[in-house]
């Protein structure tokens, strides 16, 4: 919601909070959780990119790719590569 309003700082905070929640729950379901966490990394990266912080965006995209690669989920990988 914050992102659609153009409130990038709030969107980033929301995405980072969601990422932390997903990371906390990830060990319970490795496969599905990895995809969810990879998407969360992508969301954080997208927010950083929109804020103009390319270095941070790249860092989070790489974390997402590290998780998404072994899953073989082509749609997820494409979404991360698209940025």
How many CB atoms are closer than 10 A to CB 61? 22
- How confident is the model over 50-73, as a mean pLDDT? 93
DSSP designation for 53: -
- How confident is the model over 22-31, as a mean pLDDT? 69
| pLDDT over 70 (residue 32) | no
Rounded to whole angstroms, the Cα distance separating 9 from 68 reads: 26
How many percent of the chain have pLDDT more than 70?
90
Q: Please give the radius of gyration of the chain, using alpha carbons only, rounded to the nearest integer.
A: 12
How many helices (DSSP H) and strands (DSSP E) are in the chain?
4, 0
- How confident is the model over 37-61, as a mean pLDDT? 95
* pLDDT computed for residue 22 by the predictor: 85
């Amino acid at each position: 919601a914050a992102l659609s309003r153009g409130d990038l700082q709030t969107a980033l905070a929301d995405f980072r909070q969601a990422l932390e929640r997903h990371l906390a729950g990830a060990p319970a379901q490795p496969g599905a959780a990895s995809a969810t966490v990879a998407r969360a990394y992508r969301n954080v990266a997208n927010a950083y990119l929109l804020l103009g912080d390319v270095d941070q965006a790249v860092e989070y995209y790489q974390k997402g790719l590290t998780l998404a690669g072994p899953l073989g989920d082509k749609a997820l990988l494409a979404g991360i590569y698209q940025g």
